Amino acid sequence: MQKKIFASTPEYSMHKYYFSWLRILIVIILILGIGFRFINIDRKVYWYDETITSLRIAGYTWGELRDRLDEAGIISRKNLQEYLSINSDKSFISTINSLATENQEHVPIYFVLLRWWVKLFGNSVAVTRTFSAVVSLLVFPFIYWLCRELFDKSLVGEVAIALTAVSPILVLYAQETRAYSIFIVTILLSTIALVRAMRIQTKRSWQIYTVSLVLALCTNLFSLLAIMEHGLYVILLEKLRLTKRFRAYLLASVSGFLIFCLG
């Protein structure tokens, strides 16, 4: 009875009205954010780091290109494209080897996935950048999921979606042929897995966290910084006590590191 009376009050109706308009605004912002990620995606300058990405997915090293430059003096656009395009002489193993030779700090999962994407859809600036843009769309459901795990309120997740949709740095990363977008997605995924494992405390949930750690580390070694924050979160939550949850976290995180290092 009290709920029915409260639901009929002017204050409740006003709150419901404002929340409805807020959700409409969030949807509009989300649509704009998606548009920002794809509009004029091929118009910006294809800068040095993106060129190196194309060189890696083609399976060449900078040394091979430099040797060609030394021989030719000035290399033509057509000859340069040979080193930035997928061909049958190089496989994804060549991509991994090129990273191992010259960019050991970069782990291969993004470059291998991008290579397959380019083989499917073509080797243009728009295609290579669209992969990052498409991956960046996963940020929206993942940030919402994380907010629901942390706060259990849908409105918090919706506001978070709106903020990430028009975040300048996230839009910029979504339009670059670099691993930034997939890095952000895997960090969100591993954080969701941790918060969920801490909440439900099942063996399977901790196994999922371990897998998410391996995936994050295979995407970008800067994931180590986020994983350190995970550890700080657990330590503060457990108040420096060696609880069951803390032991489960240690086992899952150590297992993730070992799988990554030995894999």
Nearest of 192, 191, 197, 188 to residue 246 by alpha carbon: 197
Neighbours of 205 (CB within 10 A): 18
- In this predicted structure, what is the pLDDT of residue 2? 46
* CA distances in angstroms from 224 to 1, 146, 227, 229, 261, listed in the order given: 53, 19, 5, 9, 13
Do 109 and 146 touch, CB atoms closer than 8 A? no
- In this predicted structure, what is the pLDDT of residue 102? 84
* Amino acid present at 247: R
Neighbours of 63 (CB within 10 A): 11
- In this predicted structure, what is the pLDDT of residue 1? 44
More confident residue, 173 or 84: 173
- In this predicted structure, what is the pLDDT of residue 6? 46
Residue 20 pLDDT greater than 90, yes or no: no
Mean pLDDT value across the chain: 88
- In this predicted structure, what is the pLDDT of residue 252? 95
Neighbours of 151 (CB within 10 A): 12
More confident residue, 102 or 10: 102
Q: Is 138 exposed, middle or buried (0-12, 13-18, 19+ CB in 10 A)?
A: middle
Within 8 A by CB and 6+ apart from 11, the residues are none
Token couple for 179: 């691993």
Residue 191 pLDDT greater than 90, yes or no: yes
Within 8 A by CB and 6+ apart from 20, the residues are none
Residue 11 pLDDT greater than 70, yes or no: no
Please state whether the predicted TM-score (pTM) of the whole model is above 0.85: yes
Residue 159 pLDDT greater than 80, yes or no: yes
pLDDT bucket at 162, cuts 50 / 70 / 90 = very high
Neighbours of 224 (CB within 10 A): 12
- In this predicted structure, what is the pLDDT of residue 7? 53
Which residue blocks in 73-138 are alpha helix, DSSP H? Answer: 77-84, 92-102, 109-121, 125-136
Token couple for 79: 């000859």
- In this predicted structure, what is the pLDDT of residue 74? 67
- In this predicted structure, what is the pLDDT of residue 9? 65
Do 165 and 34 touch, CB atoms closer than 8 A? yes
pLDDT bucket at 196, cuts 50 / 70 / 90 = very high
Question: In this structure, is the dihedral angle defined by the CA atoms of residues 81, 84, 90 and 91, taken in order, positive or negative?
Answer: negative
pLDDT bucket at 119, cuts 50 / 70 / 90 = very high
- In this predicted structure, what is the pLDDT of residue 62? 81
Residue 12 pLDDT greater than 70, yes or no: no
Task: Please write the tens of the pLDDT for every residue from 198-254.
Answer: 999 999 999 999 999 999 999 988 899 999 999 999 999 998 898 999 999 999 999
Using DSSP's 3-state secondary structure scheme, residue 113 falls into: helix
Share of the chain above pLDDT 90, in %: 62
- In this predicted structure, what is the pLDDT of residue 240? 86
* CA distances in angstroms from 178 to 35, 138, 219, listed in the order given: 19, 16, 11
Using DSSP's 3-state secondary structure scheme, residue 103 falls into: coil
* Amino acid present at 241: R
- In this predicted structure, what is the pLDDT of residue 89? 81
- In this predicted structure, what is the pLDDT of residue 3? 47
Task: Please write the tens of the pLDDT for every residue from 45-63.
Answer: 898 899 889 999 998 888 8
